[in-house]
Structure 1
Amino acid sequence: MTAEPSALALFWVGVIFLSLLVYVVLDGFDLGVGILFATTRDRKLRSEMMGAIEPFWDGNEKWLVVVGASLFAAFPAVYAVFLGAFYIPVLLLLFGLIFRGVAFAFRGRAGSEWLWDWGFGIGSIVVAFVQGAAVGAILGGVRVENHQYVGGPFEWLRPLPIVCGVGLVFGYALLGACWLILKSDADLRDWAYRRIDWLAGVTAALLTTAGVGALMELTATHAPGADRPWALIFPILAAAALLGVVIAARTRRDELPFLMAALFIVAAFLTLPSILWPYLIPYELTVADAASPDSSLSFFFWGAGLVALPVVAAYTILVYWTFRGKQKPASAGYSASSVRPAGLGQYAPADHNSAVGSLVGEGAMAVSLAEKSPAALWDAWEARAKWEWTVAIGVILVILGFVALGSIVAATVAGLWIVAVAMVVGGVAEIAHGFAMRRWAKFFFWTVIGCLYVIAGE
């Protein structure tokens, strides 16, 4: 007979599922925009795409931090098994997120724009794919003995996970297209509308295939979901919402496609707990098996549960409320102009104190005073001069990742230490950043986030 989880264990599994759901919807649309970003070469559209997610993307990823920290503290056995089973996908996920962040920071300030565009687009595709592949692999079951993963490093790379990964790429792209419709006007909005039908069709085909494969896996493993016909309500709701996206797009009411796409993502996500409960690692670790002692869960509740979580939620609500509605023309172009000069050589060596924009190069583009100031030009030159080091460090890390495949256990332990140290250092930096804020709300938010990082790292 399966042991019953405590109330605190149920609270934290609820927090993890809810945070993961929020992350999938919110970061799903900005990953989707990044995927669509890779499908066009139009620089104006690309700049508008980045402008549409610029205020939101980094805050969306905070929910992934909440999921990771909560899982580590509340269900350490699941955290350990998941890292062991999905070591390579997690590395790819981190590399993809890093490339996306670097692209946001460097694209408007350094040369080699093609490199940052490539990093942003490919990074978004990789992050979406490994998330879907992990879901597909979990549905097939994970080999565990004595609360330790005993499978190989590439067991996640099977037909079902691959189909799920590709399906999530197209699902996120659909959600991203609906977000662009919601936030933009004119050319970009029309461009996104034209992609709704075929994105919805491909997503439906792939997820139907994945659903049939998952049903076969559940039947073969005698999973609890195979005996829950009521769970079919969620995939049926997802299918109806996907059809609703197409119908809403044809009505040209800009709010409806995103609402339907978000409902589709939510319904598809809720299918997982409905068929896997009470397992967190199918079909080995239940919520009761993997939970930390109630004393630890209680300590975590009074710190993170009552302080950090409400702050993150309040910050998210504040950001979306502040930047509600269509993006304004001034913000539609990323980095202050919808089309940026390709390199520093295109900046005119004119008087930098002039408040009048200069016409530069063939395109005769207006460049703002802020962009032409000596400090801004120096930052751009410095970023351009150092990008080679960034790429070199990235290559070294990739090589070390493949070396780590030779000893998964040692690499996992080393990785945990590195992550712990990085979280402590990052937490101290976040706290310092909080003290530099002039507003109490921002001070409180960054300080609490920093404390959460330090606690999780320790």
Structure 2
Amino acid sequence: MLGVDWLTLLSAGALAFSILVYVVLDGTDLGAGMLLASNRQAQDRELTVRTLLPVWDANETWLVLGGGGLLALFPMAYAILLPALYLPFLLMFMALVLRAVGLEFREHLANAWIADGAVLGGSLVATLCQGLILGTLMQGVPHDNGQYSGNGREWLGMFPLACALALVLGYSWLGACWLYWRCEGPLQRRAASQAKVLCGLALAALAGVLALTLQLDTQYWHRLGQPWLLIGAGGASVGLLVGFARAWRCAHHWLPLSCALGMIVVVFTLMLVALFPNAIPPALTLEQAAASAATQVFVLVGFALVVPVTLGYNTWGFRVFSGKVRASDRQGTTPGQ
């Protein structure tokens, strides 16, 4: 099927799904964290943090599933990527820990700005590192016989840096839409203005990354130039952007975020199409990088058990803590739109 056996294709799908859900959920959290820089009022920063407290830790579960899935399902790809990206991975995990400390210990610190700085800095550094990792993967990692053969500085190239900038803008766009949904008053109005500006900036950055991507390898031209893909992705993008523009006149405040997340899914799908059937460009395929069939079956059974439970927990958490976060409600949320 598509040049890849069904088991490896299923393994790749499970891994891609975990990463996509992480980007959708924790990317929104990271974006809201970065927007702390634009909130001068202590009360607005507190409200921003309180929208994240009930959900951020569950959202990070998907990063664990993605990393563990890569190691178990595609060990050769893991063995090549890890030494190539030691520093970005290390900085990302340290930044996520810093963000967690800022979120959880904010109420116990005499100076809340210290915790806010930790949330802001951790969110920004983690996002930059994720962009560098993505960009390095897309441009290709030098390897020989399943071993990394580069100099450890590939992630400092222009393309990974462009991806890092685009991801910062994209996550910030999601974060602004999140705050518009979860908050009210001046913070909600500011978030609406930020979301509209960040939409344009993020799309411009994504267009630039797409142009650079097409220059990396002729294979990307062939894969992304398929008529069915151009029609499907183009139509979906236009529909989502029209919906985003009209959503601000709707009483359902979750609509802008839904449209923004839809655009992220479209971009993620384009990335997968560009990479397929490679695990690491330009030549390591999914089948070459995959674990044995027995290992894949064992891990996929685990995925089949864990993913529904994790999705259910995420859904339940969002349901319990749904509604507007208000300054007058110290418990966190009240029913709202």
Query: Normalized against structure 2, the TM-score is what?
Result: 0.91
Shift of 1:260: 0.7
Q: Which residue in the other structure is 1:169 paired with?
A: 168
Q: Which residue in the other structure is 1:225 paired with?
A: 223
- 1:174 is paired with a residue whose SS is helix
Stretch deviating more after TM superposition (5-14 or 39-48): 5-14
- 1:313 is paired with a residue whose SS is helix
Shift of 1:253: 4.4
Q: Which residue in the other structure is 1:256 paired with?
A: 255
Provide Cα deviations, 1:166-196, integer angstroms capped at 9, x if missing partner: 1111111111111111111222211211212
Q: What CA distance in whole angstroms lies between the structure 1 residues aligned with 2:90 and 2:31?
A: 20
Q: 1:67 to 1:222 in 2, by over 3 A?
A: closer
Q: What CA distance in whole angstroms lies between the structure 2 residues aligned with 1:218 and 1:145?
A: 19
Q: Which residue in the other structure is 1:159 paired with?
A: 158
Q: Which runs of 5+ in 2 are unaligned?
A: 333-337
Residue 308 (structure 1) aligned with residue 302 (structure 2): no
Q: What CA distance in whole angstroms lies between the structure 2 residues aligned with 1:66 and 1:29?
A: 18
Contact 1:228 1:275 in 2 (8 A): no
Shift of 1:251: 5.0
Q: Which residue in the other structure is 1:142 paired with?
A: 141
Q: 1:100 to 1:156 in 2, by over 3 A?
A: same
Letter in 1 for 2:287: A
Q: Which residue in the other structure is 1:319 paired with?
A: 317
Q: Which residue in the other structure is 2:335 paired with?
A: none
Shift of 1:116: 1.9
Contact 2:214 2:221 in 1 (8 A): no
Q: Which residue in the other structure is 2:236 paired with?
A: 237
Q: What CA distance in whole angstroms lies between the structure 1 residues aligned with 2:235 and 2:2?
A: 32
Q: Which residue in the other structure is 1:288 paired with?
A: 287
Q: What CA distance in whole angstroms lies between the structure 2 residues aligned with 1:137 and 1:229?
A: 27
- 1:195 is paired with a residue whose SS is helix
- 1:108 is paired with a residue whose SS is helix
Q: RMSD value over aligned CA atoms? A: 2.3
Q: 1:237 to 1:85 in 2, by over 3 A?
A: farther
Q: What CA distance in whole angstroms lies between the structure 2 residues aligned with 1:22 and 1:222?
A: 24
Q: What CA distance in whole angstroms lies between the structure 2 residues aligned with 1:236 and 1:35?
A: 31
Residue 16 (structure 1) aligned with residue 15 (structure 2): yes
Q: What CA distance in whole angstroms lies between the structure 2 residues aligned with 1:332 and 1:195?
A: 26
Q: Which residue in the other structure is 2:272 paired with?
A: 273
Shift of 1:204: 1.8
Q: What CA distance in whole angstroms lies between the structure 1 residues aligned with 2:102 and 2:294?
A: 43
Higher relative contact order (CA 8 A, sep 6+): 2
Q: Which residue in the other structure is 1:86 paired with?
A: 85
Q: Which residue in the other structure is 2:34 paired with?
A: 35
Letter in 2 for 1:212: A
Q: Which residue in the other structure is 1:184 paired with?
A: 183
Q: 1:80 to 1:224 in 2, by over 3 A?
A: farther
Shift of 1:98: 0.7
Q: Which residue in the other structure is 1:65 paired with?
A: 64
Q: 1:328 to 1:159 in 2, by over 3 A?
A: same
Contact 1:96 1:124 in 2 (8 A): yes
Q: 1:136 to 1:230 in 2, by over 3 A?
A: farther
Contact 1:163 1:210 in 2 (8 A): yes
Stretch deviating more after TM superposition (193-202 or 257-266): 193-202
Shift of 1:329: 4.8
Contact 1:36 1:177 in 2 (8 A): yes
Q: What CA distance in whole angstroms lies between the structure 2 residues aligned with 1:250 and 1:215?
A: 37
Query: Normalized against structure 1, the TM-score is what?
Result: 0.68
Q: Which residue in the other structure is 1:371 paired with?
A: none
Q: 1:226 to 1:267 in 2, by over 3 A?
A: closer
Whose Rg is larger? 1
Q: Which residue in the other structure is 1:118 paired with?
A: 117
Q: What CA distance in whole angstroms lies between the structure 2 residues aligned with 1:109 and 1:101?
A: 14
Q: Which residue in the other structure is 1:211 paired with?
A: 210
Q: Which residue in the other structure is 1:53 paired with?
A: 52
Q: 1:77 to 1:222 in 2, by over 3 A?
A: same
Q: 1:66 to 1:242 in 2, by over 3 A?
A: same
Shift of 1:301: 3.0
Shift of 1:141: 1.6
Shift of 1:239: 5.7
Shift of 1:92: 1.4
Q: What CA distance in whole angstroms lies between the structure 1 residues aligned with 2:111 and 2:93?
A: 23
Q: What CA distance in whole angstroms lies between the structure 1 residues aligned with 2:97 and 2:205?
A: 28
Residue 100 (structure 1) aligned with residue 99 (structure 2): yes
Q: What CA distance in whole angstroms lies between the structure 2 residues aligned with 1:190 and 1:313?
A: 31
Q: Which residue in the other structure is 1:246 paired with?
A: 245
Contact 2:220 2:274 in 1 (8 A): no
